[in-house]
Amino acid sequence: MNMVQLKQAIAISLTKQVQSTAQALASTMLEDFAKTQQTIQQAAQAPHPSLGRVLDVRV
């Protein structure tokens, strides 16, 4: 293997590693995003904790 082929092989190897890492990070980010969206939807459906218990009336 000459120097040019070695450089190309190293560059391809590094590119594959970076791409693999980026895919793993993107997958983790999307999973976290889905969990966050689910949490937000559940919180939006929960009733207000003091709704109907206290009335603010001024006379």
H-type alpha helices, the chain: 3-45
- Given a cut of 90, whether residue 56 has pLDDT beyond it is no
Indicate the pLDDT class of residue 46, thresholds 50, 70 and 90.
low
Taking the alpha carbons of 44, 50, 54, 57 in that order, is the dihedral positive or negative?
Answer: negative
Q: What is the pLDDT of residue 24?
A: 97
Q: What is the pLDDT of residue 49?
A: 67
Question: 1-43 pLDDT, tens per residue?
Answer: 699 999 999 999 999 999 999 999 999 999 999 999 998 888 7
pTM of the full structure: 0.60
CB of 1 within 8 A of CB of 9?
yes
